[in-house]
Structures are given as C-alpha cells and as structure tokens.
Amino acid sequence: MYVEHMFGDLAERIDHLETELVSLEQEVSRIRGRQVEILTQLDAHQVYLTDGDRGMEDWVAARLDVSRQTAHRLLTVTHATDRWHLQQLTAGRWGWTGPPF
C-alpha cells in the first residue's frame, strides 16, 4: 500500500511538472511571436546598417544574445509572406519545433 501511494504521488507530481513545462513553452512561443512583430518593424528600417552589422541576422544574434540559428529562425518568420506562422507562434500553439518554416 505504501508503494502504491508513493508512486501515485510521484505520477501526480510528474504530471504537474509536465503541465507546467508545456505552459512555460507556450509562454516562450508567445514572447518569440512578439519579438517577430517588433523585428518586422526594425528590419523594415534596416537597423543593422546603423550599427555596422553585416546583416539583420548578426544584429538579432548580438542584440538578443541568441544563437545565429535562433536569429535565423526569428527572421524566417519575420520574412514569411503569410502571417499564419506568426499567428501560431504568438498564440502559443507551437514553437520552433512546430511545423517547419
């Protein structure tokens, strides 16, 4: 009986942690979506030119302190002609591991 109780509590705790983890990832996705919205405006003004960066990808990587891969992905969504990807990201429906860009 003690063993069943112990594993029952563990399973419940694991479920709670998993739910929280997914919720946090959805929040990250929403934040990334907002970053894309802002980057769309900054990219239109070619802000990287005033800072002497080689391109927007370098500018994003430096300013956000993210990998070039993450900067590239943000800009890929920024440059997408259909806004569906951004809507999905901003809504927290999926992140970088969602449908490919």
Whether 7 shows a pLDDT value over 90: the answer reads no
Question: Is 40 among the domain residues?
Answer: yes
Domain annotation covers residue 85: yes
Helices (H), 45-67: 47-51, 56-64
Residue 57 lies in a domain: yes
- Which structural domain range is residue 73 located in? 2-90
Is residue 66 one of the residues assigned to a domain? yes
pLDDT tens by residue, 40-56: 999 999 999 998 889 99
In which band, very low, low, confident or very high, does the pLDDT at 63 lie, cut at 50, 70 and 90? Answer: very high
Sorted by sequence, the CB contacts under 8 Å of residue 23 that are 6+ apart come out as none
Number of domains, the chain = 1
pTM: 0.76
> b/e per residue, 42-58, with b = 16+ CB within 10 A?
ebeeebbeeeebeebbe
